[in-house]
Structure 1
Amino acid sequence: MGSMPTSHFSGLAAPPRDEIFELLGQFRRDTYPERVNLSAGVYCTDEGEPMPLQVVRQAETAIYQAADPHRHDYGAIEGDAAFLALARDFTFSTACSADRVVSVQTVSGSGANHTGARFLADNLRPRRVWLSDPTWVNHDLIWQTVGVAVHYYPYYNAKTRSFDFDGMVAKLEAEAEANDVVLLHACAHNPTGLDPTQEQWKAIAQLCQRKSLFPFFDNAYQGFASGDPDHDAWAVRHFAQLQGPALEMGVAQSFSKNMGLYGHRTGAFHLVTTGEGSMSAARESITANLAMIVRSEFSMSPRFGSDIAKTILGSKALTAEWYTELQVMSSRLISMRKALYDALVRLGTPGSWVHIVNQIGMFSYTGLTTPEVVYLRQKYHIYMHSSGRISMAGLNTKNVEYVASAIHEVRSNPSVMTSA
């Protein structure tokens, strides 16, 4: 018998593995009793367990009891129109008229980012996209896959552990060109937890307007960051209501964090147009082009998560309950920031840690180096990203002292290399 032919794929290089999911797998295989997962961005209770929101449970019950005979049918390619209208209004409120916004349902925030990126790559044809340095790891991958050159603007000042507003503006002023896409985090910047002030947002908006840049917001944490959805949407709404000239922009929206619908993949992509003149024909064309992208990639979005979101957003009573739960979640994250900071200060841990309480949202850029992170994982079974980013949701009253003590030990140990 002849030898087996060589596979077409035998020389295929393996891409880098996703670090967050790799760490999650390691954590799940770890049997150490005091292991701590600070890697994945999943909200947990003070007992370290997942927390389905009560309002989500009520919505699930209502959907089950309604027993809609069409609940398992195919939906429209562009998504559930009622859900999309509610998601749009949750994002923009009255910042711009509804006829300026074209929306399609997506597979959560990743799908929204990719659908928007694909549409812009095909139709705006930007020379480059500008991402913050650092940014959510999937942003790089998404824009690379649609063939747009990825460039970076400064965002994090490692020395001061603060937002580098001056560096960001200087870079975009000097190098960004008309029709370049600028990706912005609407609130609770991932991974740094550092957001521009409202005055800084105004300056960024003016820069985009003056240089004809195309803003693209990733809106993954609205309501989850501060507990106030209107506060968290301030930047998006400010950009949307600018006049002379009005800005066109994209918004990728996710309900994974703020409704805890991680596995249901519930999101939307919103394209804000200028709205000048008669837009009805243009809206139909935009919708058709977005729908073609959806059809080619996943045909249509999952419906159960959007049914949950639609049930909550469509009820004043349930929305009020949801807002209360958002405040509870954001308050717990804030309290964990303070608890970790207080413990590090009390221990006299070398370095300044005030940035932990100055940041916002699910993540904190701790300033821990990669060797320190590796040491913490190997000796203390504390899992976090190699950048030193931690998920505050993984801290609780039972493990925060353990984590603080471990950080204190690694920072006080001269045998651990403290620079990457």
Structure 2
Amino acid sequence: MSWFCDVELGPPIEVFALTKQCTEDTFEQKVNLGVGAYRTNEGKPWVLPVVRAAEKALANDETLNKEYLPVLGIDAFSSAATRMLLGEESPALVENRAFGVQTLSGTGALRVGAEFLARNLGKTVFYYSSPTWENHKLVFKNGGFLEGREYRYWSEKTRGLDIDGFLEDLRNAPEGAVIILHACAHNPTGCDPTEEQWRQIAEVVKERKLFPFFDSAYQGFASGDLIKDAATVRYFVQQGFELFCAQSFAKNFGLYNERVGNLTVVLNNAELVAPVKSQITLVIRGMYSNPPSHGARIVSYVLSNPDLYNQWRDNIRTMSSRIIEMRKKLREALEVLGTPGDWTHITNQIGMFSYTGLNEIQSLHMVKKHHVYMLRSGRISMCGLTPSNVDYVAKAIYETLTTLS
């Protein structure tokens, strides 16, 4: 007899199972388009030069020790991260009604924010885009929310944003519901609203008294421009919204395994900062007590050093430019082959991921026949494309669509 005999086998996490399958594949031309991590033109992981420089400096700093951090983390880090998101002249910062909290990457920021909203504000309903990053649902449910609902986002017909469906679903949302919004480079579609569409979204969010919770996983990484990629969050702040924003430094600093994140909190009254901070402290204390230091110290060191900061901005431009170039090359290769369909969406999308338009059967065919590893949804990571494999991938897509139309 075991206490655990009734525990059911959980479903595999698709992207990690796909990576394992790819790693074990001996086919020489295999391509991993599943994992959401930057790769060089040679298909290799890249540790940013500024990260190497910061690590060397920190290793030589004899004043640093291994003592526990405060529950809310390194203040210099969270302050710098919040300024990076909101801008130095943000009215929320000038009026001392915004602050940041160090978390375990963007996922941790979402989890801490969700639990606070459920426990302290009594929030029970959250909305996420259809489709969205699959972990949003699990994180918010585990954080205490009772019901997750979808709002329409992706149109299979146009391979673009379904803004009418998006707005209609928000208009039908109950007052006070939490709406998860992707700040830029929507995961998994790579399809973002225009400035005008964001204004429409903000109007409905305000009209229905919804609470915006932004997920900012790609600031700077998406376009190469930190300000452009933060424009939507800054617009909402300027419009007077109270909001949360989960920031991740996995992509834009390449610190995937260091779990460096920040939860930015924007309130409408500076007097509310102390009580909100105190309750977030209790959430974290009961969850993981306090965060790790290494990755946060790297980010803080770079953001506070003008020379390294400028080098880092060059690094993120390098990454975003390579992805943009791969989008162009994939589209060109598909069009040269005469691949069925319109492929303009490949270059219209932005960021790490692309929703190709391939269905589940076609995506599985890509994996089984061509060893091109991609999600069942048709999502691919553009970072897995390189100058040496982009033509192979294009030919695989061509064969798949002409065989399984």
Shorter chain as normaliser: what TM range?
A: over 0.9
| Offset from partner CA, 1:319-378 (integer Å, 9 cap, x none) | 111111111111100000010000000001111111101000000000011111111111
Matches within 5 A, 1:139-178: 139-148=136-145, 149-173=147-171, 175-178=172-175
Of all paired residues, the percent bearing the same amino acid is: 43
The residue identity in structure 2 corresponding to 1:40 is: V
1:240 aligns with 2:237: yes
Select which of 220, 223, 229 maps to 1:223.
220
Quote how far apart the aligned CAs of 1:204 are. 1.0
Which amino acid letter does the alignment assign opposite residue 345 of structure 2?
Answer: H
Q: Which runs of 4+ in 1 moved over 4 A?
A: none
Q: Take 2:341 and 2:63, find their aligned partners in 1: how far apart are those partners?
A: 58
Q: Which residues in structure 2 correspond to 1:10-409 (within 5 Å)?
A: 10-70=5-65, 72-93=66-87, 94-98=89-93, 99-148=96-145, 149-173=147-171, 175-242=172-239, 246-275=240-269, 279=271, 282-409=272-399
CA distances 1:18-76 after superposition (whole Å, capped 9, x unpaired): 10011011111111111100001100000000011111111111111223342x11110
Amino acid at match of 1:16: P
Structure 2 Cα separation of the partners of residues 408 and 69 of structure 1: 55
Counterpart of 2:253 in structure 1: which amino acid? M
SS where residue 100 of structure 2 aligns? Answer: strand
Is the contact between residue 102 and residue 286 of structure 1 (CA under 8 Å) also seen in structure 2?
A: no
Report if aligned partners of 2:216, 2:246 keep a CA contact under 8 Å in 1: yes
| Alpha-carbon contact 1:127-1:179 (below 8 Å) kept | no
Task: Confirm or deny: 8 A CA contact 2:82 2:99 kept in the other structure.
Answer: no
How many angstroms does 1:412 deviate by?
1.0
CA RMSD of aligned residues (A): 1.1
Report how far residue 169 of structure 1 moved: 0.3
Residue 151 of structure 1: CA displacement? Answer: 0.3
Q: Please say if residues 103 and 287 of structure 1, whose CA atoms lie closer than 8 Å, have aligned partners that are also in contact.
A: no
Instruction: Kindly state the Cα deviation for residue 84 of structure 1 after the two structures are TM-superposed.
Output: 0.8
Question: Which 10-residue stretch deviates more, 198-207 or 153-162?
Answer: 198-207
Give the match's secondary structure for 1:9.
coil
The answer to whether the 8 A contact 1:227-1:326 is kept is yes
Partners of 1:135 and 1:346 in 2: CA distance = 32
Distance 2:49 2:104 in 1: 23
Moved more, 214-223 or 290-299: 290-299
Contact 1:95/1:238, CA 8 A, preserved across alignment: no
**Quick one: which amino acid aligns to residue 234 of structure 1?**
A
Which one is further off, 101-110 or 390-399? 101-110
**Cα offset, 1:123, TM superposition:** 1.6
**Paired residue type of 2:340:** P
Helix, strand or coil at the partner of 1:66: coil
Rounded Cα–Cα distance in structure 2 between residues aligned with 1:203 and 1:374: 38
Distance 1:69 1:96 in 2: 34
One-letter amino acid of the counterpart of residue 283, structure 1: V
Within 1, Cα distance between the matches of 2:345 and 2:166? 19
Letter in 2 for 1:83: F
Cα distance in 2, alignment partners of residues 66 and 393 from structure 1: 35
Unaligned runs of 5+ in 1: none
Cα distance between partner residues in 1 of 2:102 and 2:188: 25
Whole-Å separation in 1 of the counterparts to 2:45 and 2:326: 16
Alignment coverage as a number of residue pairs: 401
Cα distance in 1 for partners of 2:282, 2:214 equals 22
- The offset of 1:14, in angstroms, is 2.1
